[in-house]
Amino acid sequence: MNRRLSRCVITRTRRHLPVQLRSLGAIVLMGLGAACERGRATSGPTAFPVEFLVSNRLIAPITISVDGIPIVGLQGGGSTGLTVSSTAQWLTWMSAKPMDSRGQPIPDDIVEVTVMISGINRLLEISNVINDQTYITAGIVNYTNAPVSIGVYDGFSVSCASELPATSGTVGGFTRIGYYKLLPATEVRAYRDPSRCSGPYVSWPSSQLKGFMDKSGVVSLSLNSAP
């Protein structure tokens, strides 16, 4: 009796085994199919090129970077077309700074500016108004025989912006400062000390600096009497 029961159990097990294997195979295939569907659903969109124009209305050259990688330099008043990947996120630009008499850049008020690429609609125009703040730059001619230093006063402190040489013969001395915020208290000052922005000075008030050129922020000043 035990031998027959054993054979019966073995026989039934062998008969049911293929069905179980088929069921297991079906389950595995269904799992693989679901995994493929999930893979297609969660994969990101295909990247594509995005084209737009960058126009630099400043007088200063700028350097443009995309996601931290410098890609092009653009002269003042210049324009260029850019093509970036749709996956790119940030465009940053920085304006060049004027140099002092020792060849060192003089910091101004424009720091690195960041723009979200997805917010650019065909044209990115770079001007002297950044995040609703107006910036100005001055070209200054010295018609006196005295060299002076040029400082920018913001209502609290003075930033020494440049050294302005004296006139030479019939040619006036000339300098151009960087970009500075135009605030109600802003003044551009010419100091008697030729390098340290100290001592007596003459100034051009904010009301005069408001006569800047649209987009570039350039204002022209002249020094006709020494401080």
Residue 22 and residue 102 in one domain: no
Across 70-85, b (16+ Cβ under 10 Å) vs e yields eeeebebeeeeebebe
Give 94: exposed, middle or buried? Use CB within 10 Å, 0-12, 13-18, 19+. Answer: middle
Residues 36 and 105 in one domain: no
- List the one residue out of 131, 209, 196, 185 whose CA is nearest residue 160: 196
140 and 215 share a domain? Answer: yes
CATH classification at residue 70: 2.60.40
Total domains, the chain: 3
Are 61 and 107 in the same domain? yes
User: Is the domain of 153 the same as that of 94?
Assistant: no
Torsion sign over Cα 53, 59, 61, 63: negative
Per-residue pLDDT of 33-65, as tens digits, reads 554 555 555 566 799 999 999 999 999 999 999
Determine the residue type at 79.
S
* Final residue before a domain boundary, out of 110, 126, 142: 126
Which of 126, 159, 184 is the C-terminal boundary of a domain?
126
Name which of 18-27, 66-75, 76-85, 159-168 the model is least confident about: 18-27
* pLDDT for 183 beyond 90: yes
- What's at 200, amino acid-wise? P
Domain containing residue 30: 1-43
Check residue 14 and give its pLDDT. 45
* Domain shared by 114 and 154, yes or no: no
Residue 173's contacts (CB-CB under 8 Å, 6 or more residues apart) are 141, 142, 147, 164, 165, 166, 167
Q: Are residues 138 and 219 in the same domain?
A: yes
Confidence label for 102 from pLDDT (cuts 50, 70 and 90): confident
pTM for the full predicted model:
0.79
pLDDT over 70 (residue 129): yes
